[in-house]
Amino acid sequence: MGLFDFVKSVGNKIFNRDDEAAEKIQQHIEADNPGIKDIKVAFNDGVVSIAGAADSPEAMEKAVLMAGNIKGVGEVRAEAVKVPAAGPKTEYYVIESGDTLSKLAKKYYGNAMDYPKIFEANREVIKDPDKIFVGQKIRIPLG
């Protein structure tokens, strides 16, 4: 799946020390597991490596976003993950100042009321559709 860049200084703070980061990130992903079996997480100097078997491409994308939207993570590598054939097309978007899910729905779908599509595609990283933060990376399903 490759390498994904994130804003290291933003996101949810779930670990205090690098030596506990891998375990905390793995627990975070497992808590809202999007469909990854035998997940293994490693952390080294702001880089998360994920291994496991994904039920779908969307499951892997969600796991990557869950790990990447953690404060202290600058990159996520998902190279040792078994992923089935690609599903619907997805675009990634980094939240900017002034963005709302409604504004993004208007931009991508032509209708602000379609914001639940974006929210549902990102439930693992967005717990409340009214609470998104600048620098957060999300999925925009296009298909």
Give the angle subtended at the CA of 132 by the CAs of 50 and 137, to the nearest 5°: 35
Confidence of residue 126 (pLDDT cuts 50, 70, 90): very high
- How much is the pTM? 0.82
| pLDDT at residue 87 greater than cutoff 70 | no
Domains of the chain, residue spans: 3-82, 90-141
Report which of 79, 75, 82, 76 is spatially closest to residue 57, judged by C-alpha positions. Answer: 82
Superfamily per CATH, domain 90-141: LysM domain (3.10.350.10)
Confidence of residue 86 (pLDDT cuts 50, 70, 90): low
pLDDT at 83: 73
